[in-house]
A and B are shown apart, each in its own frame.
Chain A
Amino acid sequence: MTDSNTTPLLDVDVGTFTAKQSHEKDALHLLFTGEADTAALHVIESFLQGAHALAESRGAKEVVLDLRKVNFMSSSCFTKLIGWVTRVRDTPEESRYRIRIQSNQASLWQRRSLHALQCFATELITIES
């Protein structure tokens, strides 16, 4: 579901990776599942760009990114997350939103990479396990 004045943000499925979105009150929810590797690279980039545009247009205060079912993420895909966080950080304060990441702390990559991402933008990111 999207507003008529924004680019539609479509759910994507590349077989080994899916990205879905939903909206609730002031928050946009993004759900990633599967393996975030080379097959998912461009999908992640365009999906996060779309999510950012949608969150801005709706005046979202928070975007929740659920990564609990992502069992692998390559550094190329991680770079797309970093790019998204940087874009949010560069957004004017009045339309900036917070990022809440739901994680699976049993997963090594999630513990390590998401901790590093949080340190990269402590003012923006909350990690939940």
Chain B
Amino acid sequence: MTTIPEGEHDQRPAYFELRFRPNVELVSVVRRFVSAFYERIIHDLEVTERLAMVTHELLENAVKYSSDGETLLSIEVDQVGTPRNVLVRTKNRTTAENRSIVKERFQEANAAPDMFAYYQELMRRASTRTEGSGLGLGRIRSEADMSVDFAIEGEELTIDARTTISAVVAA
């Protein structure tokens, strides 16, 4: 255990991990909880709103596509340095079919020369289907201005959303 000298702020990233079986109601409960977490360490309502939206979208995806229902959510926010890094990560097991869809969506998004035009295309797609349009991931990139990446290890899918923010005020 590291002891922080009196009068000094802990300079390690603010961090938490939550392993749970999200359902539709719990996604909203966790979004409200992480909003409070973000608000406490980032005194910026707009950044808080962005990060809460991203967390919600990633968890909704996990609810839809996790093969055993379990998801690990981890959030890390730097408290020192400029700019400060923020990472929102979900990790869950998913089927081969879903892993392949995710790969396809990422390849498509990464190849898109214009993210807003691609987002408009996802909106067109979402108007004709109820599932799997990729709108949630598109929204993270286009509306929350976060980069999104994925990794697959066996059956496990990890999705990382990252951004940098200009100011974090430690509580």
Contact = CB atoms under 8 A, between A and B. Distances in A.
Interface in B123-171: 123-124, 126-128, 130, 133, 135-136, 139, 142-144
A120 B117 CA distance: 10
A72 B49 CA distance: 9
B143 A113 contact: yes
Contacts of A37: 27-28, 31, 56
A76 B59 CA distance: 12
Given A39-B24, A107-B49, A72 B31 contact: yes
A38 B28 contact: yes
A112 B126 CA distance: 17
Contacts of A83: 126-127
Interface of B, secondary structure class, is helix
Nearest to A85: B127
A75 interface: yes
A16 B28 contact: yes
Contacts of B24: 38-39
A35 B127 CA distance: 22
A108 B133 contact: no
Interface in B83-138: 116, 119-120, 123-124, 126-128, 130, 133, 135-136
B156 to A, nearest CB: 23
A74 B60 contact: yes
B27 A75 contact: no
A109 B143 contact: yes
Given A38-B28, A39-B25, A108-B50, A79 B120 contact: no
A75 B136 contact: yes
A38 B25 contact: yes
Interface of B: 24-25, 27-28, 31, 46, 49-50, 52-53, 56-57, 60, 116, 119-120, 123-124, 126-128, 130, 133, 135-136, 139, 142-144
Interface of A: 16, 35, 37-39, 72, 74-76, 78-79, 82-83, 85-86, 107-109, 112-113, 116-117, 119-120
